């Protein structure tokens, strides 16, 4: 069916409400907008839905939420034992339409005779993962678009292990969704009837307390916290779900000087005090830095709207606050955790993604700990934890990715900014007790392991033309790969979509042991590397760069040269 036929169907079909029809009628003279909304169905990727809120098959709206939930319901009814009684947990964040979309999901589950456990108000993504495991549920749903702009919302699904569905299971959900050709065929029960039948259940404080207690149990040096009475923390939840759990954990564990950014404690669907509610963006910390300068904070911590990502800011030698990268924080946490353990169990493992710095791997190796790489996406880290649990052959220490996601402990199976906030604050307090900052600790790691420098370039390419351009870039690099970057030969090209590593200098190929994904990873002869992949959640293509040098300046120059030439190559692809 053409996009115009789909547009007309939504206007004429009595199933769609008048508000939806009026919205669509208002764009009747805008063919480009109609095409954008209807040229495809909003894709249910391996993590779920994410898109701009609005009417249309390619938008986030209650009809697409219902359809996705029906597909998920069909999947768990067919695949998960006793799924009706075990139920599905639903959480939502502070975004536009999040509470409404959560209710729609609950009513569809109820229509399929599946219990829904819905949080009474906004809760973090990691608490959703915890609740699935704690309640023994058949799965979970969280309504969030993470750190996307305010016009977006999203919908992620979780398996019975509390982790996001990995591709082989997500594809089963996708197959079920594709079978639904008529929106009106979705099973649905009104809220009052569902509650009367015990199919919609409201949860809250009981789960909160269990989750908070679990987080506090992961503290490594409670004695340090008690002894650092002058240690000061500034915290911002960036208008999201972190305000309650992060404040509660840090104050209950013993941090006395906790300063929230008041303006950003309030849930705000427009994220009106920031350009982007993303701790990866340094500007997101502007208000927090102002407060930190006022109170003399030792550390600034910021979490994204669904509180699964966390950023840290510390004072440098010039007295200015400096944002740590995700790679830097990850390396510091690996070192802090391993150095704090009385004894490291045999077969201990650190897990990171293929686009994350190798500094953490080098640190882990020093402690005799293996590092395992996964594809980008924390679901793959959660999958490994599940595998270790089932086989009983590995001890999980920490999982992390460069995009500000970290997990310690196994009660949650997704990145957890509440746990990470606790450990970052505790780590900073520990180093302060030694008259050091986290930057001093990082410098020590660089001197021992080499100066690792990383960069990320994200190119935004929106709409249908943007998707075509992203495909063109990936095809160009795949079909005509660069074999030399700034006089440094490319040694290995790993094509995760084709599942092969091309060892250029040896003129041979090897099979890759990771699932297929549209990622290209180029390793240079000197150990530097860059990787290119389309974003799974935003209209972007991402280019990652990493180098290592014996000196700081040397590494920075090498990074600039490699980044410059790679971007020129990408820019030239037509």
The residues assigned a catalytic role are 146
Q: 48 pairs with which residues across the strands?
A: 156
Q: 529 pairs with which residues across the strands?
A: 523, 546
Q: What is the CA radius of gyration of the chain?
A: 24
8 Å CB contact between 112 and 73: yes
Across the beta sheet with 48-52, the strand order is 48-52, 152-158, 139-143, 88-92, 116-119, 200-203
For 185, other C-beta atoms within 10 Å of its C-beta total 12
8 Å CB contact between 458 and 535: yes
For 64, other C-beta atoms within 10 Å of its C-beta total 24
**CB-based burial of residue 564 (10 Å sphere; 0-12 exposed, 13-18 middle, 19+ buried)?**
exposed
Q: How far is CA 379 from CA 241, 244, 375, 549, in A?
A: 21, 25, 9, 32
- The b-or-e profile of 521-545 (16+ CB within 10 A means b, else e) is bbbbeeebbbbbbbbbbbbbbbbbb
* Strands 488-495 vs 405-407: parallel, antiparallel or unpaired: unpaired
Assign residue 487 a region: left if phi > 0, alpha if psi is -120 to 50, beta otherwise?
Answer: left
The C-alpha atoms of residue 21 and residue 443 are separated, in whole angstroms, by 59
Which DSSP helix (H) or strand (E) runs through 76? Answer: helix 62-79
Q: Which pair of tokens denotes residue 24? A: 């669509």
Q: 234 pairs with which residues across the strands?
A: 259, 300
Nearest to 299 by CA among 314, 288, 311, 284: 314
Q: 202 pairs with which residues across the strands?
A: 118
């Amino acid at each position: 069916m053409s996009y115009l036929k789909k547009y007309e169907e939504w206007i004429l079909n009595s199933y769609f409400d008048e508000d939806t029809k009026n919205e669509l009628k208002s764009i009747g003279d805008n063919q480009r907008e109609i095409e954008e909304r209807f040229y495809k169905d909003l894709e249910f990727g391996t993590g779920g839905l994410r898109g701009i809120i609005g009417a249309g098959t390619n938008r986030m709206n209650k009809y697409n939420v219902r359809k996705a939930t029906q597909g998920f319901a069909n999947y768990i009814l067919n695949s998960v034992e006793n799924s009706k009684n075990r139920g599905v947990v639903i959480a939502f964040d502070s975004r536009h339409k999040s509470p409404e979309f959560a209710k729609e999901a609950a009513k569809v589950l109820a229509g399929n005779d599946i219990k829904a456990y819905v949080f009474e108000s906004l809760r973090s993504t990691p608490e959703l993962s915890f609740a699935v495991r704690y309640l023994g549920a058949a799965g979970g749903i969280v309504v969030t678009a993470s750190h996307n702009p305010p016009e977006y919302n999203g919908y992620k699904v979780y398996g019975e292990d509390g982790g996001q569905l990995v591709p082989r299971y997500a594809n089963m959900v996708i197959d079920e969704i594709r079978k639904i050709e008529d929106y009106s065929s979705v099973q649905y029960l009104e809220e009052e009837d569902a509650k009367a039948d015990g199919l919609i259940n409201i949860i809250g404080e009981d789960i909160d307390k269990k989750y908070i207690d679990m987080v506090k149990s992961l503290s490594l040096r409670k004695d340090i916290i008690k002894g650092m009475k002058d240690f000061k923390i500034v915290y911002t939840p960036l208008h999201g779900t972190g305000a309650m759990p992060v404040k509660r954990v840090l104050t209950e564990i013993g941090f006395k000087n906790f300063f929230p950014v008041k303006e950003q404690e309030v849930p705000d669907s427009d994220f009106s005090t920031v350009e982007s509610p993303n701790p990866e963006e340094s500007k997101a910390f502007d208000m927090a830095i102002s407060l930190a300068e006022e109170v003399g904070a030792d550390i600034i911590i910021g979490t994204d709207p669904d509180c699964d990502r966390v950023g840290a800011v510390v004072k440098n030698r010039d007295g200015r606050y400096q944002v740590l990268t995700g790679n830097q924080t990850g390396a510091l946490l690996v070192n802090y955790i391993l150095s704090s353990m009385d004894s490291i169990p045999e077969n201990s493992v650190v897990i990171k993604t293929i686009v994350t710095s190798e500094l953490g791997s080098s640190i882990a190796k020093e402690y005799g700990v293996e590092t395992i790489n996964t594809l980008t996406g924390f679901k793959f880290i959660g999958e490994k934890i599940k595998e270790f649990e089932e086989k009983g052959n590995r001890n999980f220490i920490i999982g992390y990715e460069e995009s500000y996601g970290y997990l310690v402990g196994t009660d949650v199976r997704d990145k957890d900014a509440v746990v990470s906030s606790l450990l970052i604050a505790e780590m900073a307090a520990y180093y302060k007790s030694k008259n050091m900052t986290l930057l001093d600790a990082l410098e020590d790691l660089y001197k021992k392991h080499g100066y690792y420098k990383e960069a990320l370039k994200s190119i935004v390419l929106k709409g249908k033309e943007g998707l075509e351009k992203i495909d063109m870039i990936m095809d160009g690099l795949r079909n005509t790969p660069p074999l030399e970057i700034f006089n440094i030969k490319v040694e290995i090209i790993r094509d995760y979509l084709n599942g092969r590593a091309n060892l250029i200098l040896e003129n041979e190929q090897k099979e890759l042991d990771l699932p297929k994904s549209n990622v290209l990873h180029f390793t240079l002869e000197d150990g530097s590397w860059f990787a290119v992949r389309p974003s799974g959640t935003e209209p972007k293509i991402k280019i990652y760069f990493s180098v290592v040098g014996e000196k700081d300046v040397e590494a920075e120059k090498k990074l600039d040269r490699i980044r410059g030439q790679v971007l020129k190559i990408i820019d030239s692809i037509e």
